[in-house]
Amino acid sequence: MKKMTKATVAAASILALGAGAVAAEKLTIGLASEPTAMDPHFHNLGPNNAMTLHIFDRLVDQNEKQQLVPGLAVSWKPIDDLTWEFKLREGVKFHDGSDFTADDVVCTVERAPNVPNSPSSFGTYLKGKSVEKVDDYTVHFKTAEPYPLMANDISTIRIISDEVGCGAATEDFNSGVAAVGTGPFKFVSYTPGASIVMERNDAYWGEAPIWSEVEFRPISSGPSRVAALLAGDIDMIASVPTTDITTLAANDEIQLSQGVSNRVIYLHMDQFREDSPFITANDGSDIKNPLMDVRVRKAISMAISRDAIVDRVMEGVALPAGQLLPEGFFGVSDNLEVVAYDPDGAKALLAEAGYPDGFQMTIHGPNDRYINDAKIAEAVAQMLTRVGIRTAVETMPRSVYFGRASRGAEGDLPEFSFILVGWGAGSGEASSPLKSLIHTFDTDKGFGSANRGRYSNAETDALIEEALRTVDDAKRQELLAAATESAIENVAIIPTHFQVNTWAARKGLRYTPRTDEYTLAIGVTKD
């Protein structure tokens, strides 16, 4: 019956930074990693989520620190133990002029977790929830058990049109046919590998963007991004290469913005197949998957110097990680420390596990998704090789990598044995990585949607599930921390570092860094 989009990020947070008068002016932004689709529900991936937020709004928005603020919903509250009521914003129009109503919310919630061939679905936020239309501007979300994180979860979902979007395929969003939202910008064109163009939505319900047109250009090469900025070909770049930060900071014609993100870079390991596809004995013969032994996983963690990755690979622009989120986020444990670099201890553990001479393995990773991702994979491989695990490196574009890492093997199973990947907590707290990366893979319940190692531990699962139904904030914090401790102790994943992100813009422009790492045109303001 209608459609809907996202731009709340604008209204509540970044826009508040000083948008000034509406101007007929174009903004061009260089991106290190482009989205894999314009379908806001196809892939729960940072570049996709950031890009689609220009066109599609959320019911609950997040400001630059991921604090919840009103979006297409003006208020939300629990009305009983199993029901949350959301009051919707009236008078909002989709880009085609139709009204936003509860029908758009209902169809969005039905579609978002069920997009075909999704490499990482939004089921992790929506499974176990149902939504009912009360009237045109009221909806009720229902759960089988008390659920205190409803608003956090709903803040990850972009609302689409019942009339245009809910029956559409991903290709229809990519072509623009279904890319009709309520956000601050309208879809103009999407040319993968070349550009994404949007125009200002002059009927936007929030504060109007100052940019009449925005073009995003994917420039995966860091030096090329910097060169384009310095040449004046583009106005701003995301993901400033760590090697160029000092030089750009000294340039009077450039302004930098920098901030710690919620993204942990980590290693996922095959923990469900005895015959893992990219692991062999040193002579190339088949062996039982060593990664199923917690001692081997601990040895790998001990063999990795987080400080070396931060200092040498990341040029000091990162933080060593010992858990799923950096200090200050809800659910972080005070009891976990960064695993100390101990190659001798790693060798001893390998020997104890029955691998005194190690084994052979390949690390797979993207080469255009995270800051210095290919270099990090190479550094990890070198460190593991030093303790006897001879590790080869294979990296590839993220457009190929995530699909293979999630379901590239027979039976739609994860293809790789040992992978480099990252996760940003979309909900702004620890349940996001715990549900998606750590909990036992369960498509029916929406758990483990990005658990590409298929780690499974009943104790950890129980802690996560108890936390999700615990209303008391202090108790839930304890449970999330305990679940994190359980996962790290059993080496469900191996965290390496938290990203620190840097944007650079031409003089006169400024960007407010976001913990979710999003690069949003509405967040680019004038001095």
The β-bridge partners of 435 are: none
Cα distances from 155 to residues 93, 259, 340, in angstroms, run 20, 21, 36
DSSP line for 186-236: EEEEEETTTEEEEEE-TT-SSSPPS-SEEEEEE---HHHHHHHHHTTS-SE
User: Rg of the chain's alpha carbons, rounded to an integer?
Assistant: 23
Tokens representing residue 307 in the block: 């400080």
pLDDT of residue 24: 57
Tens-digit pLDDT profile for residues 280-332: 999 999 999 999 999 999 999 999 999 999 999 999 999 999 999 999 899 99
Question: Based on the domain organization, do 172 and 242 belong to the same domain?
Answer: yes
Residue 204 lies in a domain: yes
Question: Based on the domain organization, do 171 and 290 belong to the same domain?
Answer: no
Cα distances from 352 to residues 304, 325, 357, 372, in angstroms, run 19, 31, 11, 34
Tens-digit pLDDT profile for residues 424-479: 988 889 999 999 999 999 988 889 999 999 999 999 999 999 999 999 999 999 99
Question: Based on the domain organization, do 271 and 248 belong to the same domain?
Answer: no
Q: What is the CATH number of the domain that holds 192?
A: 3.40.190.10
The Cα–Cα gap between 449 and 442 comes to 8
Tokens representing residue 417 in the block: 């044995």
Please provide residue 300's backbone torsions phi and psi, each rounded to the nearest 5 degrees. Answer: -60, -45
Q: What is the CATH number of the domain that holds 358?
A: 3.10.105.10
Question: Based on the domain organization, do 33 and 142 belong to the same domain?
Answer: yes
Residue 3 lies in a domain: no
Full domain range(s) for residue 223: 8-253+507-526
Question: Based on the domain organization, do 290 and 199 belong to the same domain?
Answer: no
Question: Based on the domain organization, do 339 and 358 belong to the same domain?
Answer: yes
| Tokens 């088949």 found at | 286
Which residues have a Cβ under 8 Å from the Cβ of 232 and sit 6 or more positions away?
A: 506
Residue 2 lies in a domain: no
Question: Which three-class secondary structure string do you get for 401-458?
Answer: HHHHHHHCECCCECCCCEEEEEEECCCCECHHHHHHHHCCCECCCCECCCCCCCCCCH
What's the predicted TM-score (pTM) here? 0.81
Residue 437 lies in a domain: yes
Q: Count H helices, E strands: the chain? A: 16, 20
pLDDT of residue 150: 96
Residue 21 lies in a domain: yes
Residue 1 lies in a domain: no
Residue 416: what residue type?
A: F
Question: Based on the domain organization, do 341 and 423 belong to the same domain?
Answer: yes
Q: What stretches in the chain show pLDDT beneath 50?
A: 1-23
Question: Based on the domain organization, do 365 and 284 belong to the same domain?
Answer: yes
pLDDT of residue 328: 87
Question: Based on the domain organization, do 279 and 306 belong to the same domain?
Answer: yes
pLDDT of residue 119: 87
Question: Based on the domain organization, do 178 and 283 belong to the same domain?
Answer: no
pLDDT of residue 527: 86
Number of domains the chain contains:
2
pLDDT of residue 13: 31
Question: Based on the domain organization, do 76 and 166 belong to the same domain?
Answer: yes
Question: Based on the domain organization, do 345 and 442 belong to the same domain?
Answer: yes
Q: Are 367 and 517 in contact (CB under 8 A)?
A: no
Residue 114: what residue type?
A: N
